[in-house]
Amino acid sequence: MSDTLPALVADIGGTNTRVALADGKAIREASIRRFRNADYNGIDEVLARYMAEEAVGALAGACVAAAGPLRHGAIVMTNLRDSDDSPWVIDADRVSRATGAAQVAILNDLQAQGQALGYIAPENLRRVVEGPMEDGGSMLVVGLGTGVNAAPVHNTPWGRVVPPSECGHVNLPAQSDEDLRLVRFLEALLDLRGEVAHAGVEEALSGRGLANLHAFAAAEAGLGSTAASAEVLANLAAGEATAGHAARLYTRILAQTLGDLALIHLPYGGIYLIGGMSLAMAPHFASFGLEAGFRKPRRIPLLQSEFAVTVVADDYAALTGCAVYLVNGGKG
């Protein structure tokens, strides 16, 4: 990649796409623009608009991150539709035609976040579970937002590797009678909504997951609740008991899930939480026992002594990850 030309990087979310220019691994913050996805027929239109408005000339490369599984070099975003009601398709050909870039890369958004680790300003990192962090060790990035996902981050002699994953849909951990009641409650709730009645991790730890937990906590108290996550968080700040119960459940489930993932991936370089729910819940983790739940004894003693957990408070981390990936020679 050219040392003098900028690169174009983009992060496609469910509602907006953020686009920016990067010099090497550094994002030009003044160049960041947001585009409302509903106003465009595809990523090629968004990028072409950005190129025109910012009068961008030649580029060193282009990298686009999107929320969805990457297969055969493309991400199909079924939640974004064009005027013909066809899903947005994110692939190298579209990005190259819109930007003129010869070097093009497509990443899952969580992969982009993993590529950014190590390049995030210290002031944007908030430790929520203390522990050792091994330089060069494998890491784990966990997304807690509209959806839930996680991916390991491996530093190898041939470069950084962040494998794709869809582990937000693994089964909810169930270690107590209350957990089992929660599983059955979520299955019934999803069935009532006409959705697949599977109590996965995402149904508890995503934005709507907190609302689901609040509905369960209310039902346990003989009440009803249709509160969305923002209202639950406001009620939590106000000291409302049902919101507190939901937050305790959220923290306990997160602790168990992180413990499972840590034993699977051995992230001696640290666990990093990203996304709106991690930021919203971070102030409550200490009071609701995230560290104690994470370090709950198991037969192998690793969780009692290893692995730190950090919340990433950087809205542009995925853009940074795209820039880092290009500089390191990433394509495809």
Q: What is the pLDDT of residues 182-237, one digit of tens each?
A: 999 999 999 999 999 999 999 999 999 999 999 999 999 999 889 999 999 999 99
Residue holding tokens 């950005």? 50
Res. 331: pLDDT tops 80: no
Q: How confident is the model at residue 68 (pLDDT cuts 50, 70, 90)?
A: confident
Res. 2: pLDDT tops 80: no
Q: pLDDT tens-digit profile of 244-262?
A: 999 999 999 999 999 999 9
pTM assigned to the model = 0.92
pLDDT of residue 121: 93
pLDDT of residue 67: 84
Domains of the chain in sequence order? 7-115+316-327 (3.30.420.40), 123-313 (3.40.367.20)
| Dihedrals phi, psi of 270, to nearest 5 degrees | 120, 155
- Please list the residues that pair with 152 across neighbouring strands: 140
Q: What is the total residue count of the chain? A: 332
Q: 216 to each of 49, 196, 210, 256, how far by Cα in Å?
A: 45, 18, 10, 19
Q: What angle do CA 272, 244, 240 make, to 5 degrees?
A: 135
For residues 95-110, average pLDDT: 92
Q: pLDDT tens-digit profile of 212-222?
A: 999 999 999 99
pLDDT of residue 165: 85
Cβ within 8 Å of residue 170, ≥6 positions away: 200, 201
Q: 207 to each of 198, 201, 281, how far by Cα in Å?
A: 17, 12, 11
What does the alpha-carbon distance between residue 76 and residue 164 come to, in Å, rounded to a whole number? Answer: 15
In 3D, which of 287, 279, 301 has the Cα closest to residue 251? 287
Res. 280: pLDDT tops 90: yes
pLDDT of residue 268: 97
Cβ count within 10 A of residue 16: 14
Structure token pair of residue 145: 């937002």
Work out whether strand 7-12 and strand 26-27 pair parallel, antiparallel, or are unpaired. Answer: unpaired
Res. 4: pLDDT tops 90: no
Q: How confident is the model at residue 91 (pLDDT cuts 50, 70, 90)?
A: very high
Cβ count within 10 A of residue 269: 22
Res. 85: pLDDT tops 90: no
What does the alpha-carbon distance between residue 212 and residue 189 come to, in Å, rounded to a whole number? Answer: 8
Most confident range, picked from 73-77, 90-94, 249-253, 296-300:
249-253
Q: Where are the beta strands (DSSP E) in the chain?
A: 7-12, 16-23, 26-27, 33-36, 61-66, 70-71, 74-81, 87-91, 104-108, 125-129, 139-144, 148-156, 159-161, 270-274, 309-312
Res. 310: pLDDT tops 60: yes
